Amino acid sequence: APGTAAAEVCLESSGERSSVCVTYAPPSLQTVASLQSMVRVLRRPGYDIVERNLHVFATGQVRRVAIPGSSGLRGAVPIGAGEVTAFMDDPRVTNCETLFASDDMARAAPGLKAWSKLARFLPGDTLDKWSDALVLKLKKDPPAEEPETGRFVITVRAQGASGDACATLHGTSLYIVTGFIGAMGAQSLLQGKAQRFGYVSLGQGLGAKYVLTRLEEIGTKTSYEIALKPAVAEAAPAAAPATASA
């Protein structure tokens, strides 16, 4: 929800034919259930948008990305996330991908790639049960969220014909944010604030700036950086060739 809302704001400046990249950089404080879900997702191929077409990417890919406020680069893995489904068939968006920035997940990517190959021989449900049991054995739920240890960063970059637009969200306590988004979305729908209907993201349904403003109520701050391309001056018409007099 925060990523698609920030991307909507960036697309207002970058214009049509934009390439959108959303990167989520959470704290390493996942619950058992969250880590189980991540392993399930990362062993499966995911989708991104390439040249306006839905494209399947293989598991096990790793990138190195810069995260605002962090030194050095962090490992990141592509994930098939809601941004792709929200912007599929959107005439403004040519390419779209979502990254999950986690050094732990990046280190585990080769193992997840090998794990995914077992799906050729074993039912997916069986693999999910095995990975769920393994996580449950190795992982314990973290303590209750605290603002200082639960900080997250979400970055969005839209590169388009009109220029580049970036948005960065800084916040804390992702599980509290999740609960707030659910409650805020339900409240806003009951108040008749929906602008679009059907399968749309929260930002598309309620308005991106409205969603980001409401997130400020729980301390999520958004900053923007817009770099528009200078207008290209229209070329003067060429002078007509001289004609020889008779």
What percentage of the chain exceeds 90 in pLDDT? 65
- State mean pLDDT over 160-186: 94
8-state DSSP, 67: -
User: How many C-alpha atoms does 12 have within 13 Å on its Cβ side?
Assistant: 12
pLDDT reading at 122 higher than 70: yes
C-alpha angle 43-67-212 in degrees, rounded to nearest 5: 90
Mean pLDDT, rounded, for 47-73: 91
Is pLDDT above 60 for 246? no
Q: By mean pLDDT, which of 4-8, 91-95, 115-119 is the weakest? A: 115-119
Report the predicted TM-score, pTM, of the whole model to 2 decimal places.
0.86
- Long-range contacts of 50-57, Cβ-Cβ distance < 8 Å, separation of 24 or more: 50/95, 51/94, 51/95, 52/93, 52/94, 54/84, 54/88
pLDDT by residue (tens digit) across 187-202? 999 999 999 999 999 9
